[in-house]
Structure 1
Amino acid sequence: MELSLPQWGQLFTLLMIAIALGMDAFSLGVGVGVRGVLMRQVFAMSGIIGFFHIMMPLLGILIGHVLSSLVENIAVMAGGGLLCFLGGHMVVHALKGENESILSATTPGGILLFSFSVSLDSLSAGLSLGLFEADALVAASMFGIIGGLMNAAGLLLGRHVGTWIGEYGEAVGGIILILLGLRFLL
C-alpha cells in the first residue's frame, strides 16, 4: 500500500513532533545519567518513558475536544514545576553528600516520577492532535518509540559524561533538570 503525499506529510509532521517531545526525554536522560545509571535502569526508565509517551497523547486526544487550552497549560506548568523540584532536590542532595534518596531516578518510585514528569508535554501534544484528524495510534506509537530511544541515548551519554564530572555529577544533573523545568514554566 502506497501512501499519498498528504499521508507522507502527516507522517513527517508526527515524526517532527515526536522528536521535539523526545528532546525533553533526552535532556532528562543526560541529567539523570551524569549521576551514573546501570544498564537495567536505562532500559527501565526508557521503557517507562516510552510507555508514558504513548499513553499521555492518547489520554490527551480523548479529553482534547473539551478542555484543550485549559489542560494544556496546566500539564506543561505541572511538568515544569515537577522537574524544577526534582532538580533542586538532586542539587541539595548532592551538596549534602547523601548517598541515596527516595526521589532518585535509580529507585522504582523515582523512575516513575521522572518518567511521568517528562511525559506531561505528551499530554499537551495529544490535546492538540485531538483537534486534527491525525491517526492517534500511529502518533502515540511514534511518540513512545522516539521518546524511549532518545531517553536511552541521553542516559548513556550522561553516564559517559558523568565519569568526567565525578562526584559533582548529581548536582550537574539537577541543574540540567531545573533548566529543563524552567523552559516549561517560562
Structure 2
Amino acid sequence: MAVALGMDAFSVSLGMGMQRMRLKRIALIGIAIGIFHVIMPFLGILLGKVISDQIGNFAIIASAFLLVAIGAQMIINAFIGDDKKRLQPIGFGLLIIAFTVSLDSFSVGLSLGMSGAKIAIVLFLFGVASTILTWIGLLLGRKVHSFLGVYSEILGGSILCGFGFKIFFG
C-alpha cells in the first residue's frame, strides 16, 4: 500500500522534475512530500475512528482539481514564458504541492483508522516510500528536461493534468 500511494508522488514529481531545479531542492521536495505522506494518513486515521467515508470522496476530488490546476498553469506558462507567476516548489508552493499529492493518503488513513492497522509501521512506510519515489521521479524528470528542453514544461504539465483527470474520473 505504501508503494501504491507513493506512485502518485512519483508521477507528479516526474512532471515537476522537468522544471529546472537543483539537487538540494529535489531533496527538500522529497522530504516534504514524505512528511505529508505521514501527516495526512495520520489525520485520516484519527478522523477515521470518528467519522465516515464522506470526507474521503471530497479529498480525492480536491486532489484531482489541484493537480489539474497546477498542470494547466505549467502548460500556460510554457507558452507565455513568465517564470514569476508559476507555482514553484518553494515555500508555500511546496506546501501546496506536498498537500495535494498526499490528499489520497488521507482517505487511505480514514479506512486504516477503522481497520486497526499498526499505525507507526504504516506511517513510517508511507513516508519512506513516497520520499524515495518522489526523488526518483524528480531525477528522471530532470533527465528528460535535458532532452526535451522547452517542451518538457508542456509534457510535465500534461502529466500533472492527466494524473489529476485520472484521479477525478478513475
Instruction: Give 2:14's aligned amino acid.
Output: V
The aligned counterpart of 1:115 is: 98
> Secondary structure of 1:131's match?
helix
How many residue pairs end up in the alignment?
169
- 4+ residue runs of structure 1 moved beyond 2 angstroms? 65-68, 99-102
- Which of 139, 144, 164 in structure 1 is aligned with 2:147? 164
The aligned counterpart of 2:128 is: 145
Aligned residues: percent identity?
A: 39
- Which of 56, 66, 70 in structure 1 is aligned with 2:54? 70
Distance apart, 1:102 and its partner CA: 4.8
Structural mapping, 1:65-104, within 5 Å: 65-104=49-88
**What TM-score results when the alignment is normalised by the length of structure 2?**
0.96
Instruction: Give 1:143's aligned amino acid.
Output: F
The runs of 5 or more residues in structure 2 that have no matched partner are none
CA RMSD across the alignment: 1.1
The aligned counterpart of 1:20 is: 4
Partners of 1:36 and 1:158 within 8 A in 2: no
CA distance in 2, matches of 1:44, 1:68: 34
The aligned counterpart of 2:107 is: 124
Q: Residue 184 in 1 paired to residue 135 in 2?
A: no
The aligned counterpart of 2:16 is: 32
Which structure has the larger Rg?
1
